[in-house]
């Protein structure tokens, strides 16, 4: 991704409440799990069985 120096406010940092103000490339690298989106499948008018892990 092209490096941008424009900083955006994304919300607040957990724990401190300080504003999270960083450029888009840094936000995507740090907070967005691109692999999750890259491995996505698209289905239209179809049901898909999805395995959901339970937390015990």
pLDDT tens column, 1-56: 567 789 999 999 888 999 999 998 888 888 887 777 677 777 788 877 777 766 65
> What is the pTM for the complete model shown?
0.51
Q: What is the pLDDT of residue 7?
A: 93
The whole-number pLDDT of residue 55 equals 67
The pLDDT value recorded for residue 30 is 85
Q: Which two tokens stand for residue 3?
A: 């490096």
- In this prediction, residue 56 carries a pLDDT of 59
Q: What is the pLDDT of residue 20?
A: 93
Distance of CA 25 to the CA centre of its chain: 12
What is the chain's percent helix, strand, coil content, to nearest 5?
25, 20, 55
């Amino acid at each position: 991704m092209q490096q941008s120096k424009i900083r955006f406010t994304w919300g607040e940092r957990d724990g401190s409440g300080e504003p999270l103000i960083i450029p888009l490339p840094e936000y995507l690298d740090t907070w967005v799990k691109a692999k999750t989106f890259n491995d996505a499948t698209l289905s239209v008018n179809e049901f898909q069985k999805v395995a959901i892990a339970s937390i015990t």
